[in-house]
Chains A and B, each alone.
Chain A
């Protein structure tokens, strides 16, 4: 492993997060190297979405540390005591960890192109014409060259999600966060979205994805992480994870997905 690869893009150490009395993350540590694709699997309520949302500080983690290329995400140290970053600071950092959402969350009042342009203009400081070019290039890439001016309401779920991917990846984030991006799609639309993600993986983009698509995780991920009850229980290459199933809880979890039953 070369020196550059060994320096993680994302570095999480002892991350904790509670909602009221319910501790969702109980000290999670995870490093992700540049170009790596990490799939997080686990039962619902195991903290996988929360973990993902902590990385771009949509959820504020309570303890531990999350660094993107060495920079602490949500807090800065002010003489030993940590302080929440200013909104402006946060905004800048968040663009480096753009997210694709389960519910797409496209801006309904903007066209597909404008959805992709917004972050480029307002956060990356690009000119409108440059942002439009980038937006069109990415919409082309995700197979929506005929939908530049469509409103989200005129698009199918699969098309909306592809705009969502274009919007996130156009930011050229250091890591792309994908939160159950096919969970609210009709089964026949899942394929078109996963095809786009696979292409991005092959291209060498650093990605962390929370997913219930076990076959997809197996195919596209370099590492699969199994979370349960706020802990990372197994962190292994897909072959080990799915074939050897080195953990009882993992076995119980996977047995619910037909193709992985022992």
Chain B
């Protein structure tokens, strides 16, 4: 019991770092990804092509490769980032690609009849987007988006490989010192779970709420 109490502050520090990384990644990825996703659906050809390439390429590369590329690769072209910045940049690049894809899916899964109907009662492009498509897209966006939040929290454990003391690395450090592996890993797992479980519940609730 004492070992939990002794290590808890250290682990909580790690948890805080994990949340900080995941939080900033998601925030930046939303700001970049949603407009880019809309551009992928509604934009002109010359905007769609690079976005399509970006989303496909980045999603097709392991996150770990992205991390190492940004942290160990970019210095070769005089881009030196701190481990924390590099971690956020790499994870954000991935998350943005994912959100572009989720946004695209949310809009493109709306039946074309909705646009036809909106056009036939005289709605212009802007009104069709704001009044008809966007409200329906939000409902289709939320469930996969929240699943992707869960992925971000879990996936952020990779940043420990750049020496960032997140929950994962703080666990390993504590275990390295105390040699008590099983209970501490269990505790770490529970801490990840305690973040992600409410998100999963929220996702299921939203799915139910938005059936119409």
Contacts and interface: CB of A to CB of B under 8 A. Distances in A.
Interface residues of A, number: 32
Given A103-B113, A107-B114, A109-B136, A58 B124 contact: no
B123 interface: yes
Given A87-B125, A109-B136, A101 B113 contact: yes
A90 B122 CA distance: 8
B117 A106 contact: yes
Contact of A105 (B117, B123, B124, B127): B117
A92 B122 contact: yes
Given A105-B114, A107-B132, A109-B135, A118 B121 contact: yes
B46 interface: no
B126 to A, nearest CB: 9
Nearest to B210: A109
A153 B127 CA distance: 23
Given A118-B131, A151-B212, A58 B121 contact: no
B116 interface: yes
Nearest to B114: A105
B139 interface: yes
Contacts of A177: 120
Given A107-B132, A109-B136, A109-B212, A99 B123 contact: no
Nearest to A103: B113
B119 interface: yes
Nearest to A107: B132
Nearest to A151: B212
Contact of B120 (A87, A88, A98, A153): A98
B143 to A, nearest CB: 16
B116 A101 contact: yes
Interface stretch (A7-15, A119-127, A212-220): A119-127
Nearest to A89: B124
18 contacts: A87-B125, A88-B124, A91-B122, A91-B123, A98-B120, A99-B120, A103-B111, A105-B111, A105-B116, A107-B118, A118-B132, A119-B123, A123-B123, A123-B124, A167-B117, A168-B120, A168-B121, A171-B121
Given A91-B122, A123-B124, 17 more contacts: A91-B125, A94-B122, A98-B120, A98-B121, A101-B113, A101-B116, A101-B120, A105-B111, A105-B117, A107-B118, A109-B139, A118-B131, A119-B123, A123-B123, A123-B127, A124-B122, A151-B212
